[in-house]
Amino acid sequence: MITEQRNLNSTDIDLKSISEIVQIFHEEDQKAIDAVAAESDSITLAIEMIVKTFQDGGRLFYIGAGTSGRLGVLDASECPPTFSTHPEMVQGIIAGGDTALRNAVEGEEDKPDRGANAILDQELTEKDILVGVATSGRTPYVLGALNQAHAIGVKTIFLSCVHPAEELKEYVDHFITPIVGPEIITGSTRLKAGTATKLVLNMLTTVSMVKIGKVYNNLMVDVNATNTKLVERCIRIVQTVTGVETTIAQKTLKKAEGNAKIAIVMLAKGINKDDATILLEKNRGLLRPILDG
């Protein structure tokens, strides 16, 4: 299996200087970037599937073990503060539960029934979509989850850093396979494979959020302003889009209960909060047709 093979570029790495080792990392990390780029078409199709799921009222789930599971939970947990999504809209499931986020619970990944039970526990339905993440392409916990999800009509995507086994096609609808090659430290898939996984997950959620109206231009207009930094960002966003002065942006944001998108519509159209909310609902949360219309 390629993720367990030795990397000739890092042979005798313990004899090399720190600067030489850093250069090896640069060279190998570039391979991860190139591998993800080679999967652009597959990533695009996966995003189209996720967007359709969101538009139909479904949810996105990630499931994985170890590093793969942690990266999925990380990506999911960033969606509410960045895009003001409901916590249930994008969820991460990791073998071993929350304990495994900080502590190795390696044995859990070998139990396909635990993965299957996780799908049942979270009550996935045919409206939802599941992305299984397993760089080795064979983690039993993830495969058990994908199999169970497929059996109840959930759309399934598999992200791995190896070419998929033929039998997986029986219960996986779509594959994303950035082939990053052997790791610098043999078998340490938190390195290139982890980097490739993070790059892909970044795109899956972020591009999907763009397409359902959570971003206007390149501004996170649905940001959840829960601290001073984010409040200041909201003010800048409202100013950038509408051109108003700081005090006006602040006052309108207060009337909009901190919602930058609503504040923007209020200012752009000269309407109150309730009317701005209704107008956004009519346009499926998209600012572009409101401001350009």
Active-site annotation holder among 28, 108, 109, 183: 109
Q: For this structure, is 109 an active site residue?
A: yes
Active-site annotation holder among 78, 108, 166, 281: 78
CA–CA distances in Å: residue 143 to residues 71, 99, 138, 170: 17, 21, 7, 11
Task: Give the CA-trace dihedral at 171, 174, 179, 180, to 10 degrees.
Answer: -100
Could you give the residue numbers annotated as active site?
78, 109
